[in-house]
Amino acid sequence: MHGTKRMDPNPSTGESLNVAPGSRIPGRNARVALVVAVAAVAGLVTGGIVLVTRGGDDGGAAPASKPLTGTPPLVIDVGAKELRQLPADDLRRRVAAIVGRDDQSRRAESIAALKALPQDEPVVSLALGLAQLWAGDATAAQASLERVKKLDAYGYYGTNADNLLHLNEAPGYPPWLTTARPAGVSVADLRARTKAHPDDAQAWLALAAALENRDRLAAIAAARRAFDIDPGDPSARIAVTVLPFDKDNPGNVLAGLMRVLQASPDADAEVRVHVGLVFFWMKDTTDAAAQFRQVLTDDPHGIYAQVAGVFSRCIETPASCTGAKTGSGTNIAP
């Protein structure tokens, strides 16, 4: 199965804040690099799309029965040049050929051709879900997109599918923010550190921070290892709560974070900034803004206040965040 690791469209490590140009925020020798989910999902979200959306507070919507105009987009994890260089029997080229010749008169033919390809490949099931969506069959589209989400959790295809299943939530997933990762240390070095010191919770947290944008599932595993070693560490508890964010049940993350806050009041700013991020992803900007204001009040000069300030400005002036990329962001390095 051709799965992916990098979320779409997750930034590579070190990409800038999603605010106006030049808005990186240095402070206390920290460089904050986040990503705010305010952009459309890989250009796929249009006013005509109606899916059964779940999670958040908006409940479900009735499936659409009216076909969409035009043709579904081609969503593949390689660029056009690389696609042309792939072997002719590569599934991505085969999917591209089917989608490329698709139009409204051939929609049924396209769906049949995609169904004939291996359904355990996320690139196939995503293309099928989009074709079904454009055909007006939202029920079938939802089933295909759910399959993609399971096949490629937090990956390129899985994230796009998850976004389309939850148009009532911001695209991508909330970032986990931490100072655990030492600046300038490679993933290989961090892996070596965990191998040399397998009972060092901070080593596992640092690895989780480094992996968040590269391989979220691996980051979750590293964070859980840290939590198993030191279950009382607030950062570890936050990591194992936020990283496995499930768009179907965002309230579970909020409940988990509030438990961390009750158990670790000294970590108030660190916890509350993540509560604000979860509310932001749920498109509850009122509650998100309240949490960010609390962080700014309680710890105005701290690193997490910098993050709260960025998101507060995004809420107050959405235009300052236009053109932002989707997905979770990099961590804060001291």
Residue 301 CA: distances (Å) to CA of 288, 291, 305, 306:
19, 16, 6, 8
Cβ atoms within 10 Å of 200's Cβ, excluding its own:
16
What was the pLDDT predicted at 23? 27
Higher per-residue confidence, 44 vs 247: 247
- pLDDT of 60-92, one tens digit each? 444 446 899 999 999 999 999 999 999 999 999
The residue among 217, 152, 174 whose CA lies nearest residue 327 is 174
What was the pLDDT predicted at 5? 64
Mean pLDDT of 238-250: 97
Cβ atoms within 10 Å of 189's Cβ, excluding its own:
13
Mean pLDDT of 286-314: 95
CB 43 within 8 A of CB 73: yes
What was the pLDDT predicted at 231? 97
- pLDDT value at 18 more than 70: no
Residue 334 CB contacts under 8 Å (≥ 6 apart), including other chains: 28, 29, 30, 179, 182, 183
Domains of the chain: 25-38+173-321 (1.25.40.10), 49-169 (1.25.40)
- pLDDT value at 48 more than 90: no
For Cα atoms 211, 217, 218, give the angle at the middle one, nearest 5 degrees.
50
- pLDDT of 96-121, one tens digit each? 999 999 999 999 999 999 999 999 99
CB 236 within 8 A of CB 201: yes
What was the pLDDT predicted at 275? 98
- Phi, psi (deg, nearest 5) at residue 322: -65, 145
Q: Give this prediction's pTM.
A: 0.79
Instruction: Quote the tokens at residue 303.
Output: 């690193």
- pLDDT of 224-237, one tens digit each? 999 999 999 999 99
